Structure 1
Amino acid sequence: MYDVVVVGGGPGGYVAAIRSSQLGKKVALIEKEHLGGTCTNKGCIPTKALLTATHLYTDIITKSKKFGIKVENISYELSGILKHMNKSIVMSRKGIEYLMKKNNIDVFNGTGIIIDKNHIKVNDKILESKNLILAHGSIPAVFPPFDKIDGIWTSDDVFTMKEIPESIVIIGGGVIGVEFATFFSALGKKVFLIELADHILPFEDEDVAKEIKKALIKKGVKIYEKTRVKNVIKDDFYTVVAESENSEIEISSEKILLAVGRKPYIPQDVKELGVEIEKGVVTDDSMKTNIDNVYAIGDIRAKIMLAHVAMFEGIVAAHNIAGESMKMDYSAVPSIIFSTPEVASTGLKEKDLDPEKIIIGKFPVSANGRARTMEEREGFAKIIADRKTKKVLGFTIISPSATDMIMEGVLAVKYGLTIDEISNLIHPHPTLTETILGAFEDTENLAIHI
């Protein structure tokens, strides 16, 4: 008899298993493929490995001469990039395997079939458990006409490529689409990015999207916004037929990448269990479903489909199973995009707020001393605060290392810090974090360096 059985070894599942074990529970984890789930094997880790390689490649091409570094005949080798990617995946996966052993978690490799809330079949074994955590994850969203055409990539398929296509159409200008547009354009390939919404990165503010659009166009990416794909024709090449507000366009390319997001993976046994399902499995803020002792975390909930959110949901589920009272707070979730420059944001967005009730501060990366030493000029930091209380409501930064700097904004939003409380902190010089300080100062027209 186990105290907890977790179905799914992705970020949410393996973290829930570890924390449950740390809290003194006997735990089993079931994973049908590789530990780490989509993030480790087909998402976060391989994507960032690819982007790290192309970022270095781009920096050498664009900056070496400015820095007095002589480099001749610069080129890349796809096999080497993929070797780095695969090494990153394997090392991350082995790290999780080690953590399973360290925490005395029984790992079963196979498809977990839920018989009822206390019994799960895996291979030829039936596991009995007091508590069940559903962490099945997600799969790429595929729909007509793309599901009827052979050879169209999803984000799961890109990592199996053996050669780089000379041209590619990316359908979807969200996080996944923008990151892959960054990767392929960095290697000098023809990239076409199609987005149905008013602008790419539709969940970010328009000024953020414009900054990244400008950077992508500079790299040669052709961007079509407010554009819907009507048809795809496959011959020697793919032909994408799409329509915008005023015209119809045809784009020919060697490959197509469908990057319109993911949908929860909810197998039949989960449906038959009787958990409430809307778009995904419904839970309360303790991660409990409508069935006693059954919890759901991560992408199967179809809410905020981010690895770090799944991880914290796993922690919350584990503590509630252990008899503690812990609830999820989604008010300060960081969103990060590994474009060039990077994007990171948290809290509320300007587009969703009454302009009469907020104050905004912005500071450009081009005015930051450390950025100048790095030959970086693109981007800005933006602070949104309540006009009356001066509490920080939202924070966005477009900058090199933005994904590492977001936590200052997360803390400010999470704990309701005020503009003065951040402005009165001494930021180290010369660092990129001074861009954040400048934005806070600018909310009251007190920015020193602009």
Structure 2
Amino acid sequence: MYDAVIIGGGPGGYVCAIKLAQLGKKVALVEKEALGGTCTNKGCIPTKAMLTASHLMSEIKEKAAKYGLKVSSVKFDVPSMMKHVEKSVMMSRKGIEYLMKKNNVDVFMGTGVIEDKNTVVVKETGERLETKNLVLAHGSVPSVFPPFDVDGIWTSDDVFKLGEFPKSLLIVGGGVIGVEFATFFSSFEVNVTIVEVADHILPYEDEDVAEEVKKSLKRKGVKILEKTKVTALKKTEDGFEATLETGETLKAEKVLLAVGRKPNIPEDVKALGVKVERGVVTDKRMKTNVEGVYAIGDIRGEIMLAHVAMYEGIVAAKNIVGIEEEMDYSAVPNIIFSSPEVASTGVKEKDVNPENVVIFKFPVSANGRARTMLENIGFVKVIADKKSGVILGMSIVSPSATDMIMEGVIAVKYRMKAKDLEEAIHPHPTLTETVLGALEGVSGKPIHL
């Protein structure tokens, strides 16, 4: 008898398993493909391995001569690039396998089929796992729907199998996935077009954030069509032809559907009797409406981010062992590995009443370290409560934004005042001084602007 059986070995599942084991519980984890889930094998890790290569390529092409470096030619080899991606994935996966053994988690490779809330059967082997608690961590799958259910179309799961770059690429969806892949492919002179149905790309970010990214993508030759919908798609002899609602047609060798992902909810999960809306519904302790059954990560259909799934796994584990803890989603970091990078946390400018807040943006172009890096696109924006000075949100468009956002995450989570953060000495010359400049601006006295 296990204290808990977890179905799904992605970020939420494997972290939950480790935390439960650390808390002294007997744990089993069932995974049907590979440990690490989508993030390790088809998402976070492989895309960032690819983007690291593309960022370096862009740096060399765009800045080497200005740095005084004479580079006669820069060539790329797609198979070698994919080997780097595969190695990055394998090392991450092996690391998780090691952690499972280190923490004495019993791992069953196969499809976990739920008989009831206390019994899981591994489909391929017939092994029966009896458990006191069940954690649903089934993850998500790419959203594919008409007219995009055409043979040969790419989703984010398929890109890592490429042997060569296409000459042209149409990306349907200008969210995080679409923008990251546009950044990657355009760095290698692929003719990229993004079609986004919302008012602007990166629709969950503020418009000024999207504008900075758009500016950078256009410099790379990316064509961006916003407020535009693809109504038909067909395969042709040399690729695909997409029809827009305006009647205009676009041709491309490849099409990438990047309109997000949907929760993976198999029939056995539904048969449990758990409440399902967009995803499996839980409270903030990750409990479903069925006693002893928890759900974490993308299967919930809420904030579908690996780092959120990880912490939900920790919260679920604590509640399983009797430590009462609730999830706090007030300071979730959202990060995009575009060029420049984008990161945000807390409230957005589009969601606040301007009369109740103070908002200040400090431009990257005014930062000394950025000038040494030949960077001039981007800013740090801080949103603070007008009465108390408490930081409510932060958005960053900058090199290393995905690292710098932690200053904002901590400030928002612990309700720090802009003055408190401003009084912390920021090292010089660093990009973090753009954060300092924005904080100074909130108080109305920016020194370097």
1:362 lines up with 2:364 in the alignment: no
1:97 corresponds in structure 2 to 97
Shift of the alpha carbon at 1:445? 2.3
Confirm or deny that 1:391 pairs with 2:390. Answer: yes
Whether the 8 Å contact between 1:363 and 1:439 is mirrored in structure 2 is yes
The separation in 1 between residues aligned to 2:248 and 2:348, in whole angstroms, is: 33
1:73 aligns with 2:94: no
Preserved CA contact (<8 Å) 2:419 2:443: no
Q: Deviations over 1:353-388 (max 9, x none)?
A: 111111101101111111111111110000001111
Q: Which residue of 2 aligns with 1:268?
A: 267
Counterpart of 1:28 in structure 2: which amino acid?
A
Equivalents in 2 of 1:188, 1:449: separation in Å? 38
Q: Where does 1:106-117 land on structure 2 (aligned, <5 Å)?
A: 106-117=106-117
CA distance in 2 between counterparts of 1:83 and 1:70 reads 28
Are positions 1:30 and 2:30 aligned together? Answer: yes
- Which amino acid is 2:76 matched to? Y
1:94-243 matches, within 5 Å, as: 94-122=94-122, 123-147=125-149, 149-236=150-237, 237-243=239-245
* Deviations 1:281-310, CA, capped at 9 Å, x for gaps: 000000000011100000000000000000
Instruction: Give 2:427's aligned residue.
Output: 428
Structure 1 letter corresponding to 2:217: L
5+ unaligned residues in a row in structure 2: which ranges? Answer: none
Q: Structure 1, residues 207-231: CA drift from partner, whole Å, max 9, x if none? A: 0011111111111000000001110
Partners of 1:392 and 1:412 within 8 A in 2 = yes
The Cα shift of 1:64 comes to 1.2
Q: Secondary structure at the match of 1:233?
A: strand
SS state of the match for residue 409, structure 2? helix
Separation in 1, partners of 2:443, 2:421: 13
Could you tell me which residue of structure 2 aligns to residue 443 of structure 1? Answer: 442
Note if 1:20 corresponds to 2:24. Answer: no
TM-score (norm 1): 0.98
Give the stretch that moved more between structures: 13-22 or 370-379.
Answer: 370-379
CA shift for structure 1 position 80: 1.3
Pairwise mapping of residues 307-386 of structure 1 onto structure 2 (< 5 A)? 307-386=306-385
- Identity among equivalent positions (%) equals 65
Which amino acid letter does the alignment assign opposite residue 142 of structure 1? Answer: V
TM-score scaled by length of structure 2 = 0.99
Matches of 1:335 and 1:28 in 2, distance apart?
31
- Displacement after TM superposition at 1:320 (Å): 0.4
Secondary structure at the counterpart of residue 38 of structure 1: helix
**8 A Cα contact 1:361 1:444, kept in partner:** no
Following superposition, the deviation at residue 202 of structure 1 comes to 0.3
Q: CA deviation at 1:136?
A: 0.1
What are the superposed Cα offsets for residues 291-336 of structure 1, whole Å, 9 maximum, x if unpaired?
Answer: 1110000000000000000000000000000110010000000000
**Structure 1 residue 438 displacement after superposition:** 0.3
Greater mean deviation of Cα atoms: 275-284 or 57-66: 57-66
Q: Give the distance between the partners of 1:427 and 1:249, measured in 2 at CA.
A: 51
Deviation at 1:74, TM superposition (A): 0.9
Could you list the structure 1 runs, at least 4 aligned residues long, displaced by more than 2 angstroms after superposition.
Answer: none
CA distance in 2, matches of 1:240, 1:80: 32
The one-letter code matched in structure 2 to 1:304 is I
CA deviation after TM superposition for structure 1 residue 68, in Å: 1.7
Name whichever of 72-81 and 284-293 sits farther off. Answer: 72-81
Residue 285 of structure 2 is matched in structure 1 by: 286
Asked if 1:303 corresponds to 2:302, the answer is yes
**C-alpha distance in structure 2 between counterparts of 1:68 and 1:163, whole Å:** 32
The residue that corresponds to 1:10 in the other structure is 10
Query: In structure 2, how many angstroms separate the alpha carbons of the residues matched to 1:248 and 1:392?
Result: 46
CA distance in 2, matches of 1:326, 1:252: 52
Q: Which amino acid in 2 is paired with 1:315?
A: I
Residue 172 of structure 1 aligns with an amino acid whose one-letter code is G
Please give the secondary structure, in 1, of the residue aligned with 2:141. Answer: strand
> What amino acid sits opposite 1:346 in the alignment?
T
SS of structure 1 residue aligned to 2:345: strand
Give me the whole-angstrom Cα distance separating, in 2, the residues matched to 1:87 and 1:71. 28
What residue in structure 2 maps to residue 44 of structure 1?
A: 44
Contact 2:116 2:272 in 1 (8 A): yes
Q: Which amino acid aligns with 1:101?
A: K
Distance 1:160 1:173 in 2: 22
Give the CA deviation at 1:67: 1.4
What amino acid maps onto 1:381 in structure 2?
A: V
